Structure 1
Amino acid sequence: MSGSSSALKRWVRPEVFPVIACVGVAVGICGMQLFRNITTNPEVRVMKHKRAAGILDNFEEGENYKEHRIRKLVRNRSPQIMPSINNYFTDPTK
């Protein structure tokens, strides 16, 4: 039992929490993308009766998959993460 407690002491430290959080977020994003591809991608067919249909030229379904909610949300926004801070440090008039 002492082996497991030393491993627990090694990994459960405050310094390790950011690493655990980053890995958790990355796994969450990968899982979300996997779920999105399996459920909504027009080229992925999990059910047998849908696979039997073969190749479909359904461009509307592909366009709906490509133009998802997040893309529509950020379409007309600036491609900067923090535009006010960027403008503060790059604009010489301020």
Structure 2
Amino acid sequence: MASSAALKRWLRPEVYPLFAAVGVAVGICGMQLVRNICTNPEVRVNKENRAAGILDNHVEGEKYSQHALRKYVRNKSPEIMPSINGFFSDPKY
């Protein structure tokens, strides 16, 4: 009986965007955790890698820090909607 009341309260169409936003946030966090565990040069999961100690592998660190998304947005303008921003801020329009 109590579970039926909880389902009626939380499974309304108004709550779906909240579930979507929380799901996206959890997905992003999970993706970042997997990325750090799998590709971060400072994280060592295996015992053999942990025994190696501190490594000065700058090439691997540079590859990790300058990932594809960062390379893509490096030379882009930091605007969300550049055409609308230009329309409202440029006097030539």
Q: TM-score, normalization: structure 2?
A: 0.94
1:5-84 equivalences under 5 Å are: 5-84=4-83
- Secondary structure in 2 matching 1:15: helix
In structure 2, distance between residues paired with 1:76 and 1:91: 21
CA distance in 2, matches of 1:31, 1:4: 29
Amino acid at match of 2:51: A
Give the superposition deviation at 1:19: 0.8
Aligned length: 93
Residue 93 of structure 1 aligns with an amino acid whose one-letter code is: K
TM-score (normalizing by structure 1): 0.93
Could you tell me how far apart the structure 1 residues matched to 2:41 and 2:16 are?
Answer: 38
Query: Quick one: percent identity of the two aligned structures?
Result: 70
Shift of residue 86, structure 1, vs aligned partner: 1.5
Gaps of 5+ in 2: none
> C-alpha separation between the residues in 1 aligned to 2:91 and 2:8?
51
Q: Structure 1 counterpart of 2:4, which letter? A: S
Give CA-to-partner distance per residue, 1:30-75, whole Å, 9 cap, x none: 0000000000000000011000000000000000000101011111
Q: Per-residue deviation at 1:82?
A: 1.2
Unaligned runs of 5+ in 1: none
Report the Cα distance in structure 2 between the residues aligned to 1:62 and 1:4, rounded to whole angstroms.
50
Shift of 1:90: 2.1
The aligned counterpart of 2:92 is 93
